[in-house]
Amino acid sequence: MSEIDKGAQSPADIAAAEGYFWGDQVSEVYFEPAEQALDIQWANIIAPLLQGLEYSTVIDLASGHGRNARRLAEKARLVYCVDINPENIAFLTRRFAGDQKFVIVGNDGVTLAFFGDCSIDLLYCFDALVHFDLEIVQSYLREGYRVLRTGGHAFIHCSNYTANPGGDFSENPHWRNFMSFELFSHLAIKTGFAIRRGRKIDWGDVPDLDCVFLLRKE
């Protein structure tokens, strides 16, 4: 779907159109290999940014089938698995049934209305925001800032791909949407975050395709 096609749609409409794709129909080709790859990604990409961070309550944004939530729960007291896709919500409910560490939350793909102000230690999103439209990224930055306590952090994995402005993200390498290290830094700072750490990373066979950031709510 191009930006021209999206012109009259709200961010929530765009999020619904794109978010409903990431359900059971892509389970075998996406979620299962992604789960297998997470241990290496956690060691090489995620853990270095989270090193030394204390967190008790976490939002795993766009949780999918819960591979990140599983790792976050090793340290957190409570992990909120947030996703727009009903198939993913059903999968998460089955996967974590009976485990009081996990709360499954369906959202609209744009906001975090379930959560009160200043109620969360860590907002976490890995291998999902890379596909999101700029308007959705902006909305989640604002919502993340609202729900994080003062001194809380956001770990964000975003795209660093700018070669196809206004184009269909599914035509881009690894389905990356339009974003850059500099643009995301600007949006985060304008929202009120301080950037504690940030770097570009390779993804697959594409150098510097993505970025990872650790943000702090001052």
In contact, 87 and 106? CB cutoff 8 Å = no
pLDDT at residue 2, as a whole number: 42
pLDDT confidence of residue 9: 76
Domains and CATH numbers, the chain: 3-205 (3.40.50.150)
Question: Which long-range CB contacts under 8 A does 186-192 form with residues at least 24 apart?
Answer: 187/137, 187/138, 187/141, 188/141, 188/156, 188/213, 188/215, 191/138, 191/141, 191/142, 191/145, 192/145, 192/217, 192/218
pLDDT of residue 3: 43
Series of mean pLDDT values for 10-residue runs along the chain (218 residues) = 53 69 61 90 97 97 97 98 94 97 97 98 97 95 98 98 93 96 98 98 97 97
pTM: 0.91
End-to-end CA, the chain: 37
